[in-house]
Chain A
Amino acid sequence: MNTTPMISVAHAHRRFGEFAALDDVSLDIPAGSLTALLGPSGSGKSTLLRAISGLDDLDSGVITIGGRDVTGVTPQKRGIGFVFQHYAAFKHMSVRENVAFGLRIRKRPKAEIIKKVDDLLEIVGLAGFQHRFPAQLSGGQRQRMALARALAVDPEVLLLDEPFGALDAQVRAELRLWLRRLHDEVHVTTVLVTHDQEEALDISDRIAVLNRGRIEQVGTPEELYDHPANTFVMSFLGHVSTVGGHLVRPHDIVLARLAVGERVPTLGDLSTVATVRRVVRLGFEVRVEMVDERTGAEVVAQVTRGELDSLHLLEGDRVVARATRVPDVSLAPAAETAGKTTSPVAVGARSGDVALA
């Protein structure tokens, strides 16, 4: 990966009245990477993307693309491609005219335009759809057309604002995979806004987690998942549960059934006794929902079907839940956010909602 960033945002501030959408955000995006801006709604991720595109302004801060300061530059001169959540298809134009739009604005020769458009439609899997109109396409097809349209002008960076947010789950997963392959072919620096942690983990090679207008952590998906900087990142990226006061991943919890009348063994710091409330089979994975007998808090463990079958777990059973791996973060919560107004501990405590969302 190149060391000079393709996009650089420095000290970006943006307020909407009392609400700080961006609060001193600085971020470098390496050339050729596929970076996800991940965060809950209102975290500022879309505001940041739109500021990079020039569709929205910053109150203060500097944005450079390809080493060029574009802070005061209009969108049409930033060398970007932008894809909207709701496609923004030009409804009165055919697929070919849609994709050709940027090239026609640039007054390219007709033959070149037709060739390039046909090539792009081939790449996005819409060959033969040239004369259709957007109304005759499915949502997934419209979004692929929008991608071809954005790529037609050879942008330096490709910006995607929740591009799969309006699609149903199956099409979304399909397009996600397809976009990843496309990026491996085209290698254009891509920034993707999403609130879907699974999407971010699946598709991107870098993730920036945003919360309340600030960046919590930037890194590869593995870094963020295995070494979250604070409890917010941990609970937002992947599922979490609590065992003995520690924030742990549900798949890092091992269960042992207690027979009726069996004495509770001496419990270590990482273990607790819980009562099984519900067993949910999600295909190969099984989610075991329990109540901690000491604290009354909810504990969720994720086991495989095989493990469940050997345990013979039923609702009402008592188990010993033991965490096998505890990330540093739970020992030192909010290391990164110390001194900030946010309260990651409180967010972590409600992790059950996040995990199941």
Chain B
Amino acid sequence: MKVSTGARLGLRTVALAYVVILLLVPIGVIAYRTFGSGLGAFIASVSTPAAISALDLSLLIVAVVVPLNVVFGVGVALALVRGRFRGRGLLQAVVDLPFALSPVVVGVSLILLWGVGGWFGFLDNYGIKVIFGLPGMVLATIFVTLPFIVREVEPVLHEIGDEQEQAASTLGANAWQTFWRITLPAIRWGLTYGIVLTIARSLGEFGAVIMVSSGFPGVSQTLTLLVHGRYVDDHNTFGAYSAATLLMLVALVTLLAMTVLDRLRKTR
């Protein structure tokens, strides 16, 4: 389709302005406020015991959630694409539920289920603290990040079809060997992208986690809760900006690490 020069420039300006105002300016403002008082102040602010604990907790949650979601996500994607079973349509719909539900609702439902008086509340009697403990935060994060890997892997599985897997089986590979040698390498791009999205969302999740966390600084605050806590409770705006910048840096590092890893694997 031919578009006149004027229209083309106009469209480009609109698109650029949209991205700048909605994405780049907010991020830029935070970075400006963070580093406005020098690098030293930023480092001091993000190396307090509360900040270090929050970073650790966020990374710990990521470390638990990602492997679980990889196993579950790939399994469900395989079942949805290759499986022939009753209830496939239902599973297809249920996988998207976390996209539709507000994270706050997820938090509330987890409290109802796992909290004192909930169906699984009796666990508290055995010293297993789910709500207001790490398990609760992990459960909340799993819930909201559940669809990412499934939805990234599923179309790739569709695209590659099952002939390569059939060929592997005629060459003597069992189901396990076929999965590791054929299916997994074939879906690795989709899986990588799903993992990146899962990590980013796990780091950034706020609504569901704040419902099930006790929120004590230095104990049960994730990075997002730290940003919120410093800003709202402590009125420490600079601290909030610093923590937010740290959060962004962690996400940036993940993204870079993933890119580098995949480069390495490709040039192997």
| A residues adjacent to B (C-beta < 8 A) | 53-55, 74-78, 80-82, 84, 86, 88-92, 101-102, 105-106, 146, 149-150, 152-153
Highest count of chain A CB atoms <10 Å: which of B164, B170, B172, B177: B170
Name which residue of chain B comes closest to A74, CB basis: B169
Q: How far is the CA of A351 from the CA of B185 in the complex (A)?
A: 49
Residues of A with C-beta under 8 A to B166: 55, 75, 82, 84, 88
Residues of B within 8 A of A150 (CB): 170-171
In the complex the two chains form, is B167's CB within 8 Å of A82's CB? Answer: yes
Q: Which of B160, B173, B185 contacts A76 (CB 8 A)?
A: B173
Q: A84-B163, A86-B163, A92-B186 are in contact. Are A102 and B169 (CB under 8 A)?
A: no
Q: Which residue of B lies closest to A85 (CB)?
A: B163
| Chain B interface (Cβ < 8 Å from any Cβ of A) | 160, 163-164, 166-174, 177, 181-182, 185-186
| A149-B169 in contact given A88-B163, A88-B164, A92-B185 (Cβ < 8 Å) | no
Q: Compute how far the CA of A16 lies from the CA of B144 in the bound complex, rounded to whole angstroms.
A: 41
Residues of the A chain whose Cβ atoms lie less than 8 Å from the Cβ of B160: 91
A contact residues around B168 at 8 Å (CB): 90, 101
B171: contacting residue among A86, A89, A92, A153, CB under 8 A: A153
**C-alpha spacing A243/B186, complex, angstroms:** 58
- CB-based closest 7 A-B pairs: A102-B171, A88-B163, A88-B167, A82-B170, A92-B185, A75-B169, A76-B172
Which one of A55, A76, A106 has the highest number of Cβ atoms from chain B below 10 Å of its Cβ?
A76
A153 to B160, CA, bound (A): 24
Q: Which of A55, A90, A153 contacts B182 (CB 8 A)?
A: A90
A77 CB contacts on chain B under 8 angstroms? 172
Shortest Cβ distance from residue B265 to the other chain A in the assembled complex, whole angstroms:
10
Q: Are B170's CB and A53's CB within 8 A?
A: yes
Asked if A105 meets B170 with Cβ closer than 8 Å, knowing A86-B163, A88-B163, A91-B186, the reply is no
Q: Name 20 extra pairs, CB < 8 A, besides A53-B170, A74-B169, A84-B163.
A: A54-B170, A55-B170, A76-B169, A76-B171, A76-B172, A76-B174, A84-B166, A86-B163, A90-B167, A90-B168, A91-B160, A91-B164, A92-B185, A92-B186, A101-B171, A101-B181, A102-B172, A105-B171, A105-B173, A150-B170
Chain B residue at minimum C-beta to C-beta distance from A79: B172
Check A75/B164 contact, CB under 8 A, given A91-B186, A92-B185: no
A86 to B170, CA, bound (A): 15
Q: Which residues of A contact B167 (CB under 8 A)?
A: 82, 84, 88, 90, 146, 149
Q: Is the CB of A106 within 8 A of B172?
A: yes
Given A75-B166, A81-B170, A149-B171, residue A105 in contact with residue B186 (CB < 8 A): no
Cα–Cα distance between A92 and B156 once the two chains are bound (Å): 14
Contact (Cβ within 8 A) B170 A75: yes
Instruction: Across the interface, name the chain A residue whose C-beta is closest to B170.
Output: A82
Q: Report 16 cross-chain contacts, Cβ distance below 8 Å, ordered by A residue.
A: A55-B166, A55-B169, A76-B170, A76-B172, A77-B172, A78-B170, A84-B163, A84-B166, A84-B167, A86-B163, A88-B166, A90-B164, A91-B164, A106-B172, A149-B167, A152-B171
How near does chain A come to B208, taking the closest CB pair, in angstroms? 37
